[in-house]
Amino acid sequence: MFKTGDKLVLISALVFVGWLYGQFWFSDGRGDFAQITIDGKEQQLVSLAENKILEMRGKTGVSELEINDGRIRFKHSPCPNQICVHAGWLEHGGEFAACLPNHVAVEIVANNTLFDSINF
Amino acid sequence: MSTLILQPSREDYLIACLAAFAIMIHIFEAAIPSPFPGVKPGLANVITIASLLVFGWKIAAWISFLRVLVGSLMIGTFLSPTFAMSLAGAISSIFLLGICWKIFGHRLGAIGYSILAAFAHMAGQFLMAYLLFIPHPGLLKLLPIFMTLALVFGLLSGIIAAAMIRKVPH
């Protein structure tokens, strides 16, 4: 009843369905890129695939941004209250952190965003 | 006054007869309640697959198209969203079957073709639903479930079609 071709189709169909589950259920909506805004206009898109530390020169000094395991955070920032550093790791689409004194902001860009929209 | 007489060929009778079988199955199946909208066992595809292997692609395509058209007229879903999805599914599955039939011919059996047709049918239907009715990424979460069901039902109708082909002398 099963020809060799049928078996191949069945096996590839099983692999395909498995891949679909991985793709749509177990990818947790993590962002692939972070958008860094400096002084409200200077924007750059960085990939989160590579672990590294970025140094962003802002209004009052240098903010260190750390990328690790698909996430990004403010490691150090020359500001008095360190709100940006305490925002912690950002990993899901739409998550946002900003160092207001230094005019540096980071937002995760992804297809699946955590929020529909944000108002300030 | 001139009269035009259309003489139906043997092939026409064959298509009509097989399409009638497919439509009958289609209508019986419509009476079965389903937990997911748009998910049915698709047993009418048994006829399409068996015709493909016994009579070739052209007849299978006719049967598939007639089933969607007449089936929707009989059930009362003609030109409704259900009909659009059904037609999209039938067109994509018959196209994939055509391509695979050209490439593989009889190296694939009823089960292989049935699984391919079920996948294409579901994908076409899903794409139609996504583009026309619910263009929201959340819908994609349902895709793995729908495709799993397509695999199960495709395998099932493939086994039935294979058994049927063995019974039919050709």
Cβ contacts of residue B93 below 8 Å, gap of 6+?
B45, B48, B64, B116, B117, B118, B120, B121, B124
Whether residue A65 is predicted with pLDDT greater than 60 in this model: the reply is yes
Cβ distance of B151 and A17 shorter than 8 Å: yes
Instruction: Indicate whether A53 and A38 sit together in one domain.
Output: yes
* Main-chain dihedrals φ then ψ at residue A66, nearest 5 degrees: -105, 130
Q: Would residue A20 count as lying in a domain?
A: yes
Q: Would residue A119 count as lying in a domain?
A: no
Residue B110: closest CA among chain A residues belongs to which residue? A6
Instruction: Indicate whether A20 and A40 sit together in one domain.
Output: no
How far apart are the two ends of chain A, measured CA to CA in Å? 64
For residues B98 and B105, give the distance between their C-alpha atoms in angstroms, rounded to a whole number: 10
Residue A9: closest CA among chain B residues belongs to which residue? B112
Q: Would residue A114 count as lying in a domain?
A: no
Looking up tokens 């969607």 gives B68
Instruction: Tell me the domain boundaries of chain B.
Output: 10-167
Instruction: Indicate whether A38 and A23 sit together in one domain.
Output: no
Whether residue A114 is predicted with pLDDT greater than 70 in this model: the reply is no
Instruction: Indicate whether A4 and A51 sit together in one domain.
Output: no
Instruction: Indicate whether A23 and A42 sit together in one domain.
Output: no
For residues A72 and A57, give the distance between their C-alpha atoms in angstroms, rounded to a whole number: 17
| Res A112: pLDDT | 64
**B158 in contact with chain A, both atoms CB, cutoff 8 A:** yes
**A24 in contact with chain B, both atoms CB, cutoff 8 A:** yes
Kindly state the DSSP code that residue B140 receives in the 8-state scheme: G
Cβ distance of A2 and B140 shorter than 8 Å: no
Nearest to A5 among B109, B119, B154 (CB): B109
Instruction: Indicate whether A52 and A94 sit together in one domain.
Output: yes
Domain around A9: 1-28
In the predicted model, what is the mean pLDDT of chain B?
A: 91
- CATH assignment of the domain containing A83: 2.60.320.10
Instruction: Indicate whether A17 and A69 sit together in one domain.
Output: no
Mutation for A interface: B100, B126, B142, B145, most A CBs within 10 A: B145
- Residue A42 tokens, joined: 């200077």
Cα→Cα distances B55→A15, A53, B42, B128, Å: 31, 65, 20, 30
Other Cβ atoms less than 10 A from the Cβ of B6: the count is 6
What is the complex's ipTM, to 2 decimals?
0.84
Instruction: Indicate whether A77 and A48 sit together in one domain.
Output: yes
Q: Would residue A105 count as lying in a domain?
A: yes
Whether residue B37 is predicted with pLDDT greater than 80 in this model: the reply is no
Question: Topology of B10-167 in CATH?
Answer: Arp2/3 complex 21 kDa subunit ARPC3 (1.10.1760)
| Res A86: pLDDT | 93
Nearest to B116 among A9, A23, A111 (CB): A9
Instruction: Indicate whether A44 and A65 sit together in one domain.
Output: yes
Instruction: Indicate whether A59 and A79 sit together in one domain.
Output: yes
Q: What is the pLDDT of residues B120-164, one digit of tens each?
A: 999 999 999 999 888 777 788 889 999 999 999 999 999 999 999
